[in-house]
Amino acid sequence: MRIIQMLMATSAAAMMQPASANHIHDERHKEPSPIAPPGPVQEGAPFDRCYAWILAAPGDTCHSIESKVGLPHGLLRGYNAQLHGDCDNNLWAGYYYCWGKRYHTISILPVSLLLASVIYYFLHG
């Protein structure tokens, strides 16, 4: 009886369509989709590649928004073409501005492994 169960399980498994490695990789590493702005934006806003938006309030400057969200100085203007030139005068209260873009980054794993190897070498000679 046990042999019959094993044969049935084997034949059932053989008939099943296995998932491809690419499909499994794609499901685990899906890129998030850009987020639509929750309100008005100026012409030139990066709709297709923005992952975070902030609403400019009266009195905000480009630098104050960068400070609020933790962007390096000048990056808000880099993310928003409509702010080029005089960033503070082109920043309109009541409008949304992109402050989060996603870029492909280089994995730090090889660097980490190299560093671990160097440390091991110095500690264990």
pLDDT in tens, 31-69: 678 999 999 999 989 888 899 999 999 999 999 999 999
On whether residue 58 sits in a domain, the answer given is yes
On whether residue 60 sits in a domain, the answer given is yes
pLDDT reading at 87 higher than 80: yes
pLDDT reading at 109 higher than 60: no
Q: For all residues of the chain together, what is the average pLDDT?
A: 74
Rounded CA separation 7/72 (Å) = 63
Weakest mean pLDDT among 25-29, 44-48, 81-85: 25-29
On whether residue 24 sits in a domain, the answer given is no
Q: What is the pLDDT of residue 120?
A: 60
> pLDDT-derived band of residue 108, with 50, 70 and 90 as boundaries?
very low
The range of the structural domain enclosing residue 114 comes to 34-125
Sequence-distant (6+) residues with CB within 8 A of 82 are: 42, 43, 44, 45, 90
State the amino acid at position 91 in one-letter form: L
96, 37 Cβ separation under 8 angstroms: yes
* pTM metric for this prediction: 0.58
On whether residue 19 sits in a domain, the answer given is no
Give the mean pLDDT of 1-29: 44
On whether residue 54 sits in a domain, the answer given is yes
On whether residue 72 sits in a domain, the answer given is yes
Count of the separate structural domains present in the chain:
1
Weakest mean pLDDT among 11-20, 70-79, 88-97, 100-109: 11-20
On whether residue 45 sits in a domain, the answer given is yes
Nearest CA to 39 out of 89, 87, 97 is that of 97
Buried b (16+ CB within 10 A) or exposed e, 78-113: ebbebbeeebeeebbeebbbbbeeeeeeeeeeeeee
Bigger pLDDT: 18 vs 44: 44
On whether residue 12 sits in a domain, the answer given is no
What whole-number percentage of the chain has pLDDT above 90?
A: 46
